[in-house]
Chains A and B, each alone.
Chain A
């Protein structure tokens, strides 16, 4: 039983990281109806930005709240700049192109970032700066609540609440929702869709930046291909929850994190990745819109 609770804690912690990245996929999909394959590589660049900046400041062995916040800010800024640049240079020229072209461009951008990353950062894994000491905060019976898990949870919950506020309580959030439900009508009402789309990329990418620092803290090995698997899983989470749906992404991510933890704990760790895709396929075949999404039927 105690094991089980421990696994739940780990699963939720993993799930909240997936959620941060899944939100980026789901927001871009909601507004542009495209899968931004490069999102996972934006996340990777965020981790490297934090790594180099920490070395630049000489704080790579200086764990503490200040380091955490500094690196979070750095990763968020770098990721949002990169996200903005990708949107502006690669996606905007294709706004009216067939879907397939956009998808392939996204894959191209993703490959470009991965290979450039291997050239610029080197293909070997790097050790992420020590952001925080991992120690046991609480202990109830044999269940341990570690500082990493608490930090991951706290930071992601704060980020998600901020996003919630942004989308539902601010003017720009209203504009985002408007563009997402119908871009041409929104532009008739005086919303500039291009600006809103750019803003969406900024927000989504900076959430990926947050995720990258949290992952770096928890699993301190970073390399240019680190985004691939986690990106795919975050994407699965977004689809599972109903892509385009912000609440769905969080729900999907938690389910993914928990189920993955359980599969590894009680079944087999080698089938972990196949399991993620298994969930995806079952969901798409039986409920293509995901748990919280709506599947639109083509009008005749």
Chain B
């Protein structure tokens, strides 16, 4: 059971952090923190496709929506386990939402991953929008009104621990995959597809694997989102939500896991941090500043904050330089 050691330690550490937040923050900031966790899942998983594999998906929100709706439906219609082990039930639904999204990722990925660059971006955007429009038209899923009254944990601490478990699963899954022959396969696709094929890498299969795994965690993120907000509707999963995920990946640095995490937290907190400005000026300038800073980052630091380095690499560099 050695493989569980590091993840368990991480979960315990995060849970301790959650305990501090539980008493140290008000309910509003606690909710923002939960959203940050959802965004971390989104950015880490998208980084797998956009950062490591070098493909460009612009439809991540669609897969998130599938996970969210699956969980919402399951929670309001099924009753698998007794109340006392509700968390396990939620976990199973999140898993189910992830699997559903992964299956959709397979269906979308198989035909479309032959396309490159802009074309792939547009097709994934299209699939994302189709999922959203389809949800709009499904009456049994609430149509445009969406789903309300999705049960949640009721307590921040439990929600946070639940999120932590999934964050750790996501992080270690992607980390370990990236340090295996599959991860190197993903990277080779990004670097040079023709050379990768000549070296015996089935590039299509690599892309599909990355895409399916990425969709899986987007679905999980959606499921968590549904539990935390207790309310979802199709407009929670627009093109903007996909763009948001891309922005987090790019801002953090394509191909940096820790960069994705830092960027996700930053992007979630930034609009809140800018709130005083809104009180001062009387108009909502937050999104204007947000989009403007996106343009500036692209022009001034195109490799993102971290480039393709991890926090640990940067720490090592820093130590080397200062010694």
Q: Using a CB–CB distance below 8 Å, which chain A residues touch chain B?
A: 33-35, 90, 93-94, 97-101, 103-105, 107-109, 111-112, 115-116, 118-119, 228, 232, 235-236, 239, 268, 270-271, 273-274, 277-278, 280-281, 284-285, 288, 298, 300
Contacts and interface: CB of A to CB of B under 8 A. Distances in A.
B250 A274 contact: no
B309 interface: no
Contact of A111 (B125, B130, B137, B294): B294
30 contacts: A35-B118, A90-B295, A90-B299, A94-B298, A94-B302, A97-B298, A97-B302, A99-B117, A103-B118, A103-B121, A104-B250, A105-B299, A107-B294, A111-B290, A115-B288, A118-B284, A118-B287, A119-B285, A271-B133, A274-B130, A277-B126, A277-B133, A280-B122, A280-B123, A281-B112, A284-B119, A285-B115, A288-B114, A288-B119, A298-B194
Contact of A271 (B137, B254, B292): B137
A274 B290 CA distance: 29
B111 interface: yes
A281 to B, nearest CB: 5
B306 interface: no
A119 B298 contact: no
Contact of B243 (A111, A112, A271): A111
B204 to A, nearest CB: 14
A277 B130 contact: yes
B206 interface: no
A239 B122 contact: yes
Chain B interface SS verdict (over half) = helix
Nearest to B246: A104
A290 to B, nearest CB: 10
A115 B127 CA distance: 25
A219 B5 CA distance: 62
A94 B299 contact: yes
A222 to B, nearest CB: 20
A281 B112 CA distance: 8
A38 to B, nearest CB: 10
Given A101-B298, A104-B246, A277-B126, A112 B134 contact: no
A263 to B, nearest CB: 12
B224 to A, nearest CB: 25
B58 to A, nearest CB: 9
A90 B302 CA distance: 13
A111 B50 contact: no
Contacts of A115: 287-288, 290-291
Interface string B237-266: 001100100110010001000000000000
A12 to B, nearest CB: 24
A169 B240 CA distance: 41
B123 A100 contact: no
B302 A112 contact: no
B118 A99 contact: yes
Contacts of B133: 270-271, 273-274, 277
Contacts of A35: 118, 121-122
B56 interface: yes
B129 A274 contact: yes
A112 B115 contact: no
A298 B192 CA distance: 11
A237 to B, nearest CB: 12
A101 B297 CA distance: 10
A103 B56 contact: yes
Contacts of A284: 112, 115, 119, 122-123
Contacts of B50: 100
Contacts of B118: 33-35, 99, 103
Nearest to B193: A298
Contact of B298 (A104, A111, A232): A104
Interface in B122-163: 122-123, 125-127, 129-130, 133-134, 136-137
B295 A116 contact: no
Given A97-B302, A115-B287, A270-B136, 6 more contacts: A34-B118, A104-B294, A109-B295, A115-B288, A274-B130, A281-B123
